[in-house]
Amino acid sequence: MLAPLKWIRNYVDIDTDVKQLADMMTMTGSKVEAVKLPGEGLKNVAVGKIERIEQHPNADKLVICQVNVGSETLQIVTGAKNVCEGDYVPVALDGAVLAGGLKIKTGKLRGELSQGMLCSAQELGIPEHMIEECKRNGIYIIDWEDKLSEGDIAGKDALEFLGINDAVIEFEITSNRPDCLSMLGIAREVAATTGKAMKYPKIEVAEKGGQISFNIDIESDELCPRYAARIVKDIVIKPSPYWMQRSLIEAGMRPINNIVDITNYVMLETGQPLHAFDRDKVSGDTIIVRKAMNGERLVTLDDKDRELEDDMLVIADREKGLALAGVMGGANSEIDATTTTILIESANFAKDSIRATSKKLGLRSEASSRFEKGIDLERVELALNRAAQLIEETESGIVLSGYADNYKNRAEQKTISVSAERINKLLGEDIQPSEMVKMLEKLEFKCSLDGNTIHIAVPSFRLDMDIDADVVEEIARMYGYDNISSKMIHGTTTMGLKTIGQRFEDSIKDALTGMGVNEILTYSFVSPKGVGKINLPETSIKNNFMKLLNPLGEETSVMRTTLVPNIMEVISTNYSKKVEEFFGFELGNTFATADGAVPVEKKSLCIGIYSKDSDFFVLKGVVEGLFEKIGLTKYEITPEKHHPTFHPGRCANVLFGSYTIGTFGELHPDVLDNYGIKERVYIAELDFELMLALSRDAKTYSPLPKYPSIERDIAIVVDESVFVKQIEDIIRENSQGLARSFKLFDVYRGEQVKEGSKSVAYTIVYRSDEKTLTDEEVEKVHSKIVKEIEARLDAKLRD
């Protein structure tokens, strides 16, 4: 925010050097971005009065001006077309320095003496876009009537006379301090920083017109807690006084006309945006504050026809919308040269509503930038009366008596109590409670001291004050951050260690990377279409997405419920780039939700592979190798024939008792078609939380065997539908603790085995920890195993 120092001087006496003041303000929390000196480097420029203009004898486009500069009359040659006799203009005298370092000397132009130069706004360092259009092209004509008190002004120092000899300070205003988006707010901070008294403008409105007859109907109190309006008649549209124009220019706004300039001036002074309607363009005697009707249209002051939504706030009369509340006025109620009566609006709007409207329409204004940060409710009346006062003082119109003010739910004053001991403990200082009170009172807090406790009444303009920590911050900045002594941190320290879950993640990653599977990372924001691409039905729980409120697009509009679509996108990209094989995994979060339930964040592991040598059993081996590494045992792998994502007959579930740890297998051909892949792909998705809960990281060691082992081979012919797991379960159950290991070494299908059957061959190792087994002892156990397999699986011992 730009704060002209001469404007701030209206409210507080400043006797400090501007650069020192900037440093002091920064140290008390009002960060200064830059100090600008508009007139810096300019010198020897005076106010001149053009007494006579004659045509240049040797040049059709030049004229010779006789210019009175007080002590003498100078002859100056110029090509400007906008000067007239009697005009007051800035004159660069011999030896003058102008903006950009331009130096002026007496010389001749086409044979005629020129003893200086008439100056344009740019040559005085005034940006062209900041001045009235009538002054942009040519010499800068001085509006002297409102500056002239006694005698002529010719010969005066033009820089001082035009008010461009004082500094402009640019402040960085944080979003929590909207009260500082005003000259009064900055002045309060200057007064508190320098220890000077604050001088508020004395506001008195003569109200020479008749009684106001006007109503305000607020339909959405939550979006507009207060709305006030005044009516001014006999409006005279004219340029605003020079002091006002100059103040607006230095604050970064362009003067337009007296009415617009007054509303802008008051907004910059108080922080409360105002808007003026042409009263004759407002139908009826009631202003209505309502939500827009869906599809309602309004042409705003920038001549753009905008379609409104039903959550946007509109200022309207009985027939039409007049303005977008807090953002921009409508063209249908704009003030123009024919305006004779105006209605001035001063209101307070909900910051969230203004921010949302401004964002949806891509329309941001000085008013909306203030409303969206929050504005003091009590400032509405102050700003309205200040505008009325300035209209009267500038003879711009006659203010009617009274004003309408709809303010139903008055804001309660906030109070905060805080212990001085707590403040000192947090700051590491020893400040007396009475000194703290003085600091806070400089900032216009009303305080009372009760022993060691400070009770604080917060002024209405300090919307950022809510808790005791806010008070600590105020004390710290007023005490001076540079005065707070530096101290070494003390206290007990603890060693940073990874959690059990983090160490478990590391073990999974180590195991998989050790098997040649690479880790990948993908976004948690996904497209809702991904679940459909892996063939899951609409009724699947995986379609219960958490939707983002402000997505970047459809492709990143929801949070993922499964990792399979993510890894398939990576596989699809690799396949399309002719990568011959892919072994990858992702360990990431998924986000599940149900109707009305709180969303649940869970971590999942997804493994994906494809290559010419890979099949279902390669992926099975990866999963089993992972489980062995993390200490997950006693799990079962059972066939899964109905999962829509996977190929029927080539898919399995991993079970642990009644828990399903995950699913793995070959993807369904329809899924592969959805991703444009013409090669078999194998995917496993496992529940990280279950694996963590069921795994055991304790290692059990046993001594080397003392007694020899005996091996027996067995070949069994069973039906094709029998799983080897069924055979292995029978071996375990009937080994009487002697079968220390068994290994499948052959599965045969061929001429020697009837069709629909297969031969399964195992090597079983028998051993006892207590003695050397005899052949008879081993044969007894071995025979029992064979008989159980034959009985329970309708098997036959192969010849």
**What are the start-end ranges of the E strands in 11-129?**
32-36, 43-55, 63-68, 73-78, 88-97, 107-109, 112-114, 117-118
Chain position carrying tokens 């992972």: 626
Neighbours of 67 (CB within 10 A): 27
601 is known to lie in a ligand binding site: no
Give the single-character DSSP code of 124: G
d(CA 426, CA 471): 11
Locate 204 and state its tokens. 């008195």
Q: Which residues on adjacent β-strands are paired with residue 27?
A: none
d(CA 263, CA 388): 10
464 is known to lie in a ligand binding site: yes
The secondary structure of 644-661 as a DSSP string is TTEEEEEEEEEEETTEEE
Neighbours of 703 (CB within 10 A): 6
Locate 184 and state its tokens. 């009064």
Beta sheet of 558-559, edge-to-edge order: 525-526, 558-559, 546-547
The secondary structure of 374-424 as a DSSP string is ---TTHHHHHHHHHHHHHHHTT--EEPB--EEE--SPPPPPEEEEEHHHHH
Q: Which residues on adjacent β-strands are paired with residue 683?
A: 608, 665
581 is known to lie in a ligand binding site: no
Contact 1, 173 (CB under 8 A): yes
Three-state secondary-structure class, residue 266: helix
145 Cβ partners below 8 Å, 6+ apart?
Answer: none
Contact 590, 522 (CB under 8 A): no
Q: Which residues on adjacent β-strands are paired with residue 417?
A: 455
d(CA 270, CA 92): 37
d(CA 30, CA 39): 24
d(CA 619, CA 583): 10
The secondary structure of 90-123 as a DSSP string is EEEEEEEE-GGG-B---EEETTEEE-SEE--TGG
What is the bridge-based pairing of β-strands 215-218 and 286-291? parallel
473 is known to lie in a ligand binding site: yes
d(CA 399, CA 235): 9
Distances (CA, A) of 746 to 610, 618, 621, 724: 26, 18, 17, 11
Q: Which residues on adjacent β-strands are paired with residue 330?
A: 300
For residue 96, with 0-12 CB atoms within 10 Å meaning exposed, 13-18 middle and 19 or more buried, which class applies? buried
Neighbours of 631 (CB within 10 A): 15
Q: Tell me phi and psi for residue 114, to 5 degrees.
A: -130, 115
3-state helix, strand, coil in the chain (%, to 5): 30, 25, 45
The secondary structure of 613-634 as a DSSP string is T--HHHHHHHHHHHHHHHT--S
The annotated binding site for Mg(2+) is made up of: 464, 470, 473-474
Annotated binding site: 464, 470, 473-474
